Chains A and B, each alone.
Chain A
Amino acid sequence: MNNIIIKPIVTERMTMLGDTLNRYGFVVDKRANKLEIKKAVEEMYGVTVNRVNTMNYQGKAKVRYTKSGIISGRTNSFKKAIVTLAEGDKIDFFSNI
């Protein structure tokens, strides 16, 4: 598995968590476990990860009513990981803009 981290989560809530508790959120590969996530984040950002919390989100059912009938489908399910960093470490998601 070479792509564990799919994308970082940039929301107001995550910004707040990052500022106050030094926690950062990622959407990760569903098959990855906490240890793998820890390793991936540490490698990618060069930080020390203290703790990883994960949660699986079920994709939502979506229904669209169109001219040619009802289209029903489902969004992708994903795994979310909240990593807590060691004190003093930081991740800057905007460093390469």
Chain B
Amino acid sequence: MNIEKEQIDDLNAVVHITVQKDDYEPRVEKVLKDYRKKINMPGFRPGHVPASLVKKMYGKAVLADEINKLVSENLSKYIVENNLDILGEPLPSEKQQTIDFDQDEQFKFSFDMGLSPEVEVKLSKREKLPYYVIEVTDDMVDGQKKNIISRFATIEKCEKADESSMLKGDLAQLDQNGAELDEGIKVEDAILAVNIIKSEDAKTKLLEAKVGDDVVFELNKALPNETELSYLLKISKEEAKNVKGEFKFKVKEITKYVDPELNQELFDKIFGPDKVSNEEEFTTQVKKDLEDSLKLESEYKFSLDAKEKLMGKVDVKFPEEFLKRWLKANSKDKDGNPLSDEQIDEEMPRFLEDLKWQIIRNQLVKDNNLKVEQQDIIDFAKKSARLQFMQYGLNNIPEEYLENYAMDMLNNEEQRRNMAEGAMHDKVMEFVKEAIKIDTKEVSREEFNELLESKKNKK
């Protein structure tokens, strides 16, 4: 066995592996011996087939197989032992001579490798990056407060409808003379919400209605959306398209949402027992939660900025030809067909961008000994679990639930990798934040969104 590296330039290298007979023979023999015990051949009892016959039949396949294994094992060993930082995977060289397993006893393989470029990422306090903090305005707090309170709203019956009311009653289709159609659509206990009614005529009529009144209006104008209509009348969407004419709605009940009073009971429901005791504290708590969730957005924006900054700062050269070949050999489109050259050319810039960021990040990690521990991954998993719950408006999940949920996520191999990746990202960002000068700027919600948008458009 003989392995040598031929450096073509800084980014490309060819590794030649020469396999001698001594290297592969014992392994081939061993495999053949195993084969001999197992195969069934007419004319011989199992296990009594002459060795030479087995070799004759399977020798070549086994040989090719074993040499393949041997070469790939040694190649990866060589890469690890020599600390070669390669991109993608080694590819068989284009100059590879054809191999004749029948005749040759010594095989020579050549592999092209793309080497990872050396990058130097230096950060100092002289670098400046803005960190945008979104200003929490009173309007936002008020809106959030209202939002939270309305989540605990109760339904109360009332006599007269207003904009937020729901009306319950029987619907019946009418003919041109205003009499009920015998074979028309009838729905008992249909529920209409005033704020989804589109036509002014129906809306005013409904707002004036009292319990026990009959309201007549054109249903297909009041609800032009056939999905809503089909749901209300309990018919299919196709049928809903053909619904025409007037309907009579006999009001049986009017209900509306009433916001709960701000009292201790409500505070306990929202934030858990004994955390908030008066309205002032409630406001502060809401503001704090809001700030927390906005902080995440700030962080996100910062990570985008930092990424851009780092990407712009470091110039990385890639062995493009090699990567193109590698991409071509390894990627497939949705149907499992290999990508065409044009597709590869199209993908290339994005791929290189990602790769560049990865290299920069890895360099940062290596240079600064950043490590992701088990605990970091768990913390990150918990964080994302909390985020998920927050999306559903569940703010006060007990710690143990979160812990269980996070553990569940980590049991899934793929999710675990994502989490580790995310934790690593956070670590790097933390480091970047430490290493450079942060310029904190306070901006309003709209300005912040604009900043995000403009970035997206630039891309």
A residues lining the B interface (CB < 8 Å): 10, 12, 15, 18-19, 90, 92-95, 97
Contact B52 A93 (CB under 8 A): yes
Given contacts A94-B56, A97-B56, contact A12 B51 (CB under 8 A): no
- Is B53 engaged at the interface, CB distance under 8 Å to the other chain? yes
Q: Give the Cβ gap from A42 to chain B, nearest Cβ, in Å.
A: 19
Pick the 8 closest A-B CB pairs, nearest first.
Answer: A92-B52, A94-B53, A15-B50, A12-B48, A94-B56, A94-B52, A97-B56, A19-B51
| Nearest Cβ on chain A to B102's Cβ, whole angstroms | 13
B45 at the interface (CB under 8 A from A): yes
CA–CA, A91 to B50, complex, Å?
A: 12
Query: Which residues of chain B come closer than 8 Å to A94, judged between CB atoms?
Result: 50, 52-53, 56
- Interface residue tally of chain B, by bracket? under 10
Tell me the bound Cα distance from A94 to B53 in angstroms: 6
Shortest B258–chain A CB gap in Å is 94
Closest CB-CB distance, A70 to chain B, in whole Å?
34
Q: In the complex, are the beta carbons of A12 and B45 less than 8 A apart?
A: yes
Question: Are A10 and B50 in touch, CB under 8 angstroms?
Answer: yes
Q: Name 15 extra pairs, CB < 8 A, besides A12-B48, A93-B52, A95-B52.
A: A10-B50, A12-B44, A15-B50, A15-B51, A18-B50, A92-B52, A92-B56, A93-B50, A94-B50, A94-B52, A94-B53, A94-B56, A95-B56, A97-B53, A97-B56
The CA of A65 and the CA of B51, in the complex, are separated in Å by 42
Return chain B residues, CB-CB under 8 Å to A10. 50
Task: Convert B42-61 into 0s and 1s, putting 1 for each residue whose CB lies closer than 8 angstroms to a CB of A.
Answer: 00110010111100100000
Q: How far is A12 from B45 in the complex, measured between Cα atoms in Å?
A: 9
Collect the chain B residues with CB atoms within 8 Å of residue A97's CB. Answer: 53, 56
Residue of B nearest to A15 (CB): B50
Give, as a whole number of angstroms, the nearest-CB distance from A16 to chain B.
8
How distant is the Cα of A92 from the Cα of B50 in the complex, in angstroms?
Answer: 9
Assembled-state Cα–Cα distance A82/B51 (Å) = 19
C-alpha spacing A18/B44, complex, angstroms: 16
Q: Which single residue of chain A is at the shortest CB-CB distance from B47?
A: A12
Whole-angstrom distance between the alpha carbons of A15 and B41 in the complex? 15
Which residues of A have CB within 8 Å of B45?
A: 12
| Neighbouring A residues of B51 by C-beta, 8 Å | 15, 19
Nearest CB in chain B to that of A93: its residue: B52
CA distance A93 to B55 in the complex (A): 12
Residues of chain A within 8 A (CB-CB) of B44 are 12
Most chain-B Cβ atoms within 10 A of its Cβ — which of A10, A15, A18, A90? A15
Give the docked Cα–Cα distance between A10 and B44 (Å): 11
A-B contacts, 22 of them at CB < 8 A, read: A10-B50, A12-B44, A12-B45, A12-B48, A15-B48, A15-B50, A15-B51, A18-B50, A19-B51, A90-B52, A92-B52, A92-B56, A93-B50, A93-B52, A94-B50, A94-B52, A94-B53, A94-B56, A95-B52, A95-B56, A97-B53, A97-B56
What distance in Å separates the Cβ of B56 from its nearest Cβ neighbour in chain A? Answer: 5
Q: How far is the CA of A12 from the CA of B46 in the complex (A)?
A: 11
CA distance A97 to B56 in the complex (A): 9
B340 to chain A, nearest CB (A): 46
Cα of A10 to Cα of B41 in the assembled complex, Å: 15
B53 partner residues in chain A, CB cutoff 8 A: 94, 97
| Residues in A neighbouring B50, C-beta threshold 8 A | 10, 15, 18, 93-94
> Restricting to B26-78, which residues have a CB under 8 Å from any CB of A?
44-45, 48, 50-53, 56
Neighbouring B residues of A18 by C-beta, 8 Å: 50
Min CB–CB distance B408 → chain A (angstroms): 57
A5 to B349, alpha carbons, bound, how many Å? 73
* Nearest Cβ on chain A to B220's Cβ, whole angstroms: 85
> Cβ of B56: which chain A residues have Cβ within 8 Å of it?
92, 94-95, 97
Q: Which residues of A contact B48 (CB under 8 A)?
A: 12, 15
Rounded to whole angstroms, the CA-CA distance of A93 and B49 in the bound complex is 13
Q: What residues of chain A lie closer than 8 Å to B52, measured between beta carbons?
A: 90, 92-95
Kindly supply a per-residue 1/0 record for chain B positions 88-127, scoring 1 wherever the CB is within 8 Å of any chain A CB and 0 otherwise.
0000000000000000000000000000000000000000
- Complex Cα distance A10/B53, Å? 11
* A90: chain B residues within 8 A (beta carbon): 52
B334 smallest CB distance to A (angstroms): 48
CB distance from B180 to the nearest CB of A (A): 94
Q: A71 to chain B: closest CB distance in Å?
A: 30
CB nearest neighbor in B for A18: B50
CA distance A92 to B48 in the complex (A): 16
Q: Could you mark each residue 306-325 of chain B with 1 if its beta carbon is under 8 Å from any beta carbon of chain A, else 0? A: 00000000000000000000
Kindly state the separation between the CA atoms of A97 and B53 in the bound complex, as whole angstroms.
9
- How far apart are B385's CB and chain A's nearest CB, in angstroms? 64
Q: A90, A94, A97 — which one has the most chain B CB atoms within 10 A of its CB?
A: A94
In angstroms, how far is the closest chain B Cβ from the Cβ of A43?
Answer: 20
A84 CB to nearest chain B CB (Å): 18
Q: Residues of B contacting A93 with CB < 8 Å?
A: 50, 52
Complex: how many Å from CA A10 to CA B43? 11
